[in-house]
Structure 1
Amino acid sequence: MEIAKNDTREPYLVIALKELRWVASASFLTAFALVLQWSLYFVNVISIGHLGTNELAGTTLSIFLLGVIANAPTHGILSATETFCSTAYTASRDKTLVGFHLQRGLIAVAIHNIAVAPILWKIEPLLLAIGQEPEVSKFAGIYMRNLLITVPAFTGFEACKRYLQSQGIMHANTFVLVLVVPFHCVINYLLVRSPTYGIGFVGAPISTVISEWVMFAGIVIYIRNSRAMDTWGGWDIRAFRNMFVFYRFAISGVITICTEWIAFDLLNIGASYFGAAHLAASAIALNTLGIISYIGAGLGFGTSPRIGNLIGAAKPRQARIAGNVAVALSLFAGMMCTTFLIVFSDWWISVYTADPEVASKVKNLLSIACVFTTFHGLKEVLNAIMRGLGRQKMSATINTLAYQICAVPLGAYLAFITGMKSSGLWWGICIGILVLCCLQIIYIYMLIDWKNEVRLCIIRLRQNSADANEEQNQE
């Protein structure tokens, strides 16, 4: 495939305005969907937060351990699906390769989830073994054992979402979540706090189980009735074979995602050693940033398939401009979020807790969070550009350096050696994200040859097509 001639003809500003409209509309839908998806846990945290500090602390540990053990690797594995599906959709004549790569992603995440299920089931004794408070460990174990049922539904929903987004269908998961979130709010209230039907703490994870499976069913029904079925070639046994190329991208994606999730998980675990109040404050601050960060993540999920589609269509200049536009949007969104935290922090904290000790600690942590909110959104977009280009391996290297070599040791030093406690942990993460952004910017804007990325994309697709054809001939 030759590089499209119209890729270099239009002025930069004309292309930038086109990409601004596309990225803004697509990213708004994905960001809104991510906020809605996170709101399932947000609702749980609010309802449990009013039951007690130990309940909130146990829920927080459970959610973050589920994230780092199951959900983060799922996101990492499916990042390979983003790369292969988006480029196959525009570069391949056989559109059913999009569905073929989806199947490989589903196989990979299923294997992972089966492997980690016993660990998740035994999370209570594991927490006790590392010195967690018995009451907090008990609530974490109860929450996790119930939440374990959601793992297949979560992975299926995430895979289907990326399958649709790679084809430019950005609104499907938003449509599903707009219906599911109000439903979740109702059943959460009924199962947790209703005087008639409420069953207390355990009602929160049960409501999440119901909502997650409804989400998965909804997106499957959408696919069955949309144009996306044109790229689904049916279940193919060949998807199980020669998974090496897929795993080469998937493993790097897992490292990229897990280094960040582990760093934030260690932040929670570290905060727990300073007492339940510190852990609850850290949980509230992280939950707040989780909602805000999904604006940047939404930009990322809109940017990644766009970059992949344009590279697959042999339009490297337009792909680079699309990346520039997404970076600018992330900086603007980050500044708006920082302003919100500064102006409305007192009101926001009151939504979560009425405990004055916890509220004071949350306010201190949010003042630190204001420093890196902008950079966190920028990091999401830069990671998305790397995924769209298929550069998961380099992204994994940069994330490991920023989080595990810089953020975690520095945060531990500030928290435990200098006596800054949970504030020190947060400053370590702040500096790690800043380092991450600087390294990614240097790599993307100084070392990437965008025209060469088109050639690399075609090589990958030809290799996968050849593998599939060879296996078909052998049959």
Structure 2
Amino acid sequence: MGSALETLCGQAYGAGQLDMLGVYMQRSWIILLTTCIPLMFLYIFATQLLRLIGQTPDISKWAGMFSIWMIPQLFAYALNFPIQKFLQSQSKIIVMAAISAVAVLLHLFFSWLLMLKLGWGLVGGAVMLNASWWFVVVAQFLYILGGTCGEAWNGFSFKAFQNLWGFVKLSLASAIMLCLEFWYMMVLILFAGYLKDAEIAVDALSICMNIVGWMIMVSLGFNAAISVRVSNELGAGRPRTAKFSVLVVAITSIFFGTFLALVLFVARKQYPALFSASEEVQKLVYELTPLLAASVILNSLQPTLSGVAVGAGWQAFVAYVNIVCYYVVGIPLGLILGFKFNLGVKGIWYGMLAGTGAQTCVLLWMVIRTNWNKEASIAGTRIKEWGGRKETETANT
């Protein structure tokens, strides 16, 4: 839900409405912290919910205990994510990376100390996760309070409580758009558990999904970069620069994805052994490598196009696109090919590729057909409507 800030903060920064960045961040805090309250009950009753869906008593017990200990992290992330977007919109990336690097080093040491050396086990892991997340929140917020963001942070304001409903709608659209993408891959692994030789299928698919996940982490860098650039340029009324930025990052991401796909294809006989000692799993991963390579290429461009959508504020429309491409095309096709035509895990993956390919094509068509001058005008209207000059002038009157 915090991804709404990528649109609003980025466009406000581009338009020179720096004072609204802090207000937008506070609005997002209000919405996300409120959302945490119902989500918290999922943590509290995790044991009962896991038992309800058929998990074993031991897994349910320990997962439920871990969930309760992790409640502070839920609220820390609700504060952290808007701070990330607030800083990203101003291209203050180095400080975020430095704080994260310190957090990782502290996390590694104290996790070893609490979990292994002192024998706190699962509770020690939860304590350190909470501490690490809150360290990042406090460090980033202290950086903001230090005056490094200039007019972007003018302290807490009652304007944060204005026009919350419009903010909620964009936040929900952002959440639906991103959750539908994330759940899509998780659902495919779930379905693989019902195939013949399910353990081998799930192992092989999980290995491939992890590799795709690692590649996507890099693609998410392109996603964040183009989201910030598009929103900044549209907010500043520079549609041609926004269009050129999209072209540059799209070509760069495709080149990167193609290079990684070639590396996987060349090393397809060697890399499966890094993940599993089972010859059956290695063989299946080898057979899946061409599909994995195609997924890597698609998933290098797709997050980039999603970043363009977020920067321009198209979340609601893209959410509908994701529903159709993933859940009307991809999953049904994967189930038909995997189970009806006995293609197994390959059939499920063909369906996934079809869904991702369809979504990528639709987003590409949207970007190509976009009237960037019109988008710049819409960005200006959005800034005024949701807290820019118009709201300020009204308040002064």
Bigger CA drift: 462-471 or 208-217? 462-471
Pairing 1:304–2:304 present: no
- Equivalent position amino acid for 1:96 in 2: D
- Residue 199 of structure 1, CA deviation: 4.5
The partner residue of 2:380 within 449, 455, 458 is: 458
Q: Partners of 2:58 and 2:348 in 1: how far apart?
A: 24
Change (3 A) 1:232 1:250: same
Identity, % of aligned positions: 25
Judge conservation of contact 1:255–1:400 (CA < 8 Å) in 2. Answer: no
Structure 2 match to 1:325: 248
- 1:416 maps to 2:346: no
Give the 3 Å change call, closer, same or farther, for CA 188–345 of structure 1 in structure 2. farther
Look up the match of 1:288.
Answer: 211
How many angstroms apart in 2 are the aligned matches of 1:102 and 1:319? Answer: 24
SS in 2 for 1:78: coil
Aligned partner of 1:211: which letter? Answer: S
Deviation at 1:347, TM superposition (A): 5.9
Name the residue aligned to 1:116: 39
Match of 2:173 in 1: 252
Residue 86 in structure 1 maps to residue 10 in structure 2: yes
Contact map agreement 2:45 2:64 (CA 8 A) in 1: yes
Secondary structure, counterpart of 1:167 in structure 2 = coil
**AA aligned opposite 2:118:** Y
Question: What's the offset of the Cα at 1:226?
Answer: 5.2
1:315 aligned partner: 238
Q: CA deviation at 1:106?
A: 1.4
Which shows bigger deviation, 452-461 or 420-429?
420-429
- What SS class does the counterpart of residue 295 from structure 1 fall into? helix
Match of 1:242 among 150, 163, 166: 163
Aligned-partner residue type, residue 458 of structure 1: G
CA 191–416 in structure 1, closer or farther in 2 if over 3 Å, else same: farther
How is 1:398-409 mapped onto 2 (pairs within 5 angstroms)?
398-409=321-332
For each residue in 1:402-431, what CA deviation from the matched residue of structure 2 results, as whole angstroms up to 9, or x when unmatched? 111111222222333334444433332221
Query: How far, CA to CA, are the matches of 1:212 and 1:361 in structure 2?
Result: 38
Q: Does 1:107 align with 2:30?
A: yes
> How many Å separate the matches in 1 of 2:321 and 2:330?
12
Q: Aligned match of 1:338 in 261, 273, 295? A: 261
Give the corresponding residue for 2:134.
213
- Please list every run of 5 or more consecutive structure 2 residues that lacks an aligned counterpart in the other structure: none
The corresponding residue for 1:264 is 185
Secondary structure in structure 1 of the residue aligned to 2:187: helix
State the secondary structure of the residue aligned to 2:149.
helix
Partner of 1:449: 371
TM-score (norm 2): 0.88
Query: Is the 2:33–2:79 contact (alpha carbons within 8 Å) kept by the matching residues of 1?
Result: no
Match of 2:93 among 153, 156, 170: 170
**Which SS does the other structure have where 1:225 is aligned?**
helix
Decide whether the 8 Å contact of 2:384 with 2:391 is kept in 1.
Answer: no
Q: What is the Cα-based RMSD across aligned positions, in Å?
A: 2.7
1:295–1:333: 8 Å Cα contact kept in structure 2? no
Instruction: Determine helix, strand or coil for the equivalent of 1:171.
Output: helix
Residues 176 and 359 (structure 1), Cα distance of their counterparts in 2 relative to 1, 3 Å cut: farther
Q: Distance in 2 between matches of 1:419 and 1:130?
A: 27
- Equivalent pairs counted in the alignment come to 394
Counterpart contact for 1:238–1:468, Cα < 8 Å = no
CA contact (8 A) 1:90 1:312 kept: yes
The runs of 5 or more residues in structure 1 that have no matched partner are 1-76
Give the TM-score normalised by the residue count of structure 1.
0.75
**Distance in structure 1 (CA, Å) of the matches to 2:170 and 2:332:** 28
- Tell me if the contact between 1:238 and 1:471 (Cα under 8 Å) persists in the aligned partners: no
